[in-house]
Amino acid sequence: MDLSVNLGGIKLDNPVIPASGTFGYGLEFAELYDINILGSFSIKGTTLEPRFGNPLPRIAETPSGMLNSVGLQNPGAEAVVKEYFPRLKKVYRKKVFANVGGHDEESYVAAAEILSKEDIVCAVELNISCPNVKAGGMAFGTDPDKAAAITAAVKKVCRKPLFVKLSPNVTSVKDIALKVVDAGADGITLINTLLGMAVDWKTGRAITAVPHAGLSGAAVKPVALRMVHEVASAVSVPVIGMGGIESAKDVLEFMSVGASAVMVGSKNLTDPFICKKIIEDLPAVLSEAGVQDIKSVIGRTDRCAK
């Protein structure tokens, strides 16, 4: 059974990647199991300067999902390189995706330049889709021209393949994907969270301090599948899909619509062993589907329609 995938030259033992913001810098999870079982993982969204994030409360449970407004809390790029990466290398022999955030073009470029120099980084994931920051993030990802401009600027200094993480809070995700690929993106990851809200019925107050927060979990999966299918059908670069993945069968669904790999997000917060379980379950699920090589699943939805 072959679980390996290739993301435009980035070879992974399997397609399962914990998503940024749900796996920290890997260290806490390494205390629970051997994280070398993972295909890779995407580090917590990292900015040039340290960020405290948004005020509390930041989390709210919702039916089949959760809302978060963490706001890219992180220690800053230099601290990650000097303090976190050396510790991670002691327990992790593979390479990671460095998720980069920012509030303007200059801060994105500077953070990407710092992180992309590191040998533990296999790719930079440019987060232009976070809905939980007042500047940057989704402000870039919802405008095709701004998305292309920030992609081109980061591409000039990025020493590793550049994957751009797209927002679902747009009219046409395909149009933005095409723009960033034209600007130099080596791959696409999607979707980030959908904007949502939770309200306390007793008081009428928003449950999170930032009222409009990011919705993730099983509730967003149908939207994520549709958007991954739209983008994967339109671009020639690898696509990594995410949004409500909780099982090995979910992995096959996302790869069927064109994803070359997947990222598992909020489920890590309720079941820290979920990525390990999914990887261990994949051979049996592939066997049940009559598949020997997981790469043959990629894009089969469109092939079935012909």
Q: Is 254 left (phi over 0), alpha (psi -120 to 50) or beta?
A: alpha
CA dist 218 to 60, 85, 156, 242, Å? 15, 31, 37, 10
| 3-class DSSP state of 99 | strand
How many angstroms separate the most distant Cα atoms in the chain? Answer: 55
Overall size of the chain counted in residues: 306
Let me know if 304 is a catalytic residue. Answer: no
Strand partners, 199: 206
Positions of E strands within the chain = 5-7, 10-12, 16-18, 59-62, 65-68, 96-100, 121-127, 162-165, 187-190, 194-196, 213-216, 239-242, 261-264
For tokens 């990629």, name the residue: 298
Measured between alpha carbons, how far is 39 from 109 in angstroms, rounded to an integer? 27
> Out of 122, 130, 158, 275, which one is annotated catalytic?
130
CB 145 within 8 A of CB 179: yes
* DSSP state letters, 145-192: HHHHHHHHHHHHH-SS-EEEEPPSSSS-HHHHHHHHHHTT-SEEEE--
Using alpha carbons, select from 77, 198, 185 the residue that is nearest to residue 140.
185
Instruction: List the catalytic residues.
Output: 130
